[in-house]
């Protein structure tokens, strides 16, 4: 029997990395999320979930200036960045190198030198907008599940 797309996503992700992120979120008071405009709805959903767990969430469009982003880094405990292609991480390397708290990247592939949540096998992430958004949504649900249930 062939797996559903959601099942393929769940099987392809390194759950240990999500557990690490969940642990950091659990210990954190304030989380900064640098998001792309294309996944605003899903990140809003994650923000609502985390806010319901008494976490302060700062969600910023990653196209903002370095100065604006850096000004919001001062009081955060963990940073989450969405960059499916990894291009943003390369382009903003100097900015991200200034982050002194745990930084996690939701991506389509491993990005060396970073905590990265990515599928370890081809799940045709870029086949359509639906597939890439579904991937971020499933990761969001897993983060919620692990934090809510304190599974570390």
Residue 60's SS3 state is: strand
- Over residues 69-122, the pLDDT tens digits come to 999 998 899 999 998 888 899 999 999 999 999 999 998 888 888 899 988 887
- Over residues 123-147, the pLDDT tens digits come to 776 677 677 888 889 999 999 999 9
Nearest to 101 by CA among 16, 39, 13, 21: 21
Side-chain-side CA neighbours of residue 14 (13 Å): 16
Where in the chain does DSSP place strands (E)? 30-35, 56-61, 78-82, 103-106, 115-117
Tokens of 142: 């897993």
pTM for the complete prediction? 0.90
Other CB atoms within a 10 A radius of the CB of residue 59 amount to 17
Tokens of 62: 């990653």
């Amino acid at each position: 029997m062939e797996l559903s797309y959601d099942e393929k996503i769940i099987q392809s992700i390194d759950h240990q990395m999500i557990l690490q992120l969940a642990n950091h979120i659990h210990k954190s008071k304030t989380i900064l999320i640098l998001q792309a405009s294309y996944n605003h709805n899903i990140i809003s959903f994650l923000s609502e979930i985390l806010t319901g767990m008494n976490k302060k969430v700062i969600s910023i469009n990653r196209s903002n200036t370095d100065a604006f982003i850096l000004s919001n880094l001062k009081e955060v405990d963990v940073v989450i960045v969405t960059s499916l292609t990894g291009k943003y991480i390369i382009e903003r390397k100097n900015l991200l190198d200034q982050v002194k708290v745990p930084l996690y990247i939701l991506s389509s592939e491993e990005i060396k030198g970073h905590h990265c949540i990515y599928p370890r096998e081809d799940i045709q992430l870029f086949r359509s907008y639906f597939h890439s958004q579904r991937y971020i949504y499933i990761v969001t649900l897993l983060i919620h599940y692990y934090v809510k249930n304190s599974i570390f």
